[in-house]
Amino acid sequence: MDAMVSTVHAWIEEPRKFARSHGVNVRPNSKDPIPEEIHILVIEGFLLYNYKPLTDLFNKRYYLTVPYDECKRRRSTRHYPIPDPPGLFDGHVWPMYLKYRKEMETHGVDAVYLDGLKSRDELYNQVFEEIQNMLLNCS
């Protein structure tokens, strides 16, 4: 997690340099930062909101919620090189999801909860609209 915090700090300090060093194309002939430029970094993963030094770096937080039955169904359709042993979901995966979600809520992490039963397009549109509105209201 400390390495991730360092990586995010590197991006915050120089997003264009960071992008180039990670193989992301940036506009040619534009080496100096432009004040009007907007840089957005999306970080995805579970446990992101359980590490305060990392959570404090985020301007916006989204948390995808999925009910037990749907989560178990989706997990059962995944194909791993080494399959889950019997009982792993009920004995470990789901209890850990509940534990870390409770920790996040106990620590008052300000997150927008997204309904994981909605379509990808609906979720994308919701997040895109919120970020767009946030950016428009900042200018």
Tens digit of each residue's pLDDT (9 = 90 or more) over 103-121: 999 999 999 999 999 999 9
* pLDDT of the residue at 51: 92
Q: State which amino acid sits at residue 14.
A: E
Separation CA 54–CA 56 (nearest Å): 5
Q: Which token pair is 30? A: 């534009």
Q: What is the pLDDT of residue 138?
A: 80
Interacting residues of 19 by C-beta distance below 8 A, sequence separation 6+:
25, 26
pTM score above 0.85 = no
Give per-residue pLDDT as tens, 32-89.
Answer: 555 578 888 999 987 889 999 999 999 999 999 999 999 999 999 998 899 999 999 9
pLDDT surpasses 80 at 101: yes
Which tens digit of pLDDT belongs to each residue from 15-30? 989 988 988 887 665 5
Amino acid 31: pLDDT:
59
Q: How far apart are CA 30 and CA 22, in angstroms?
A: 17
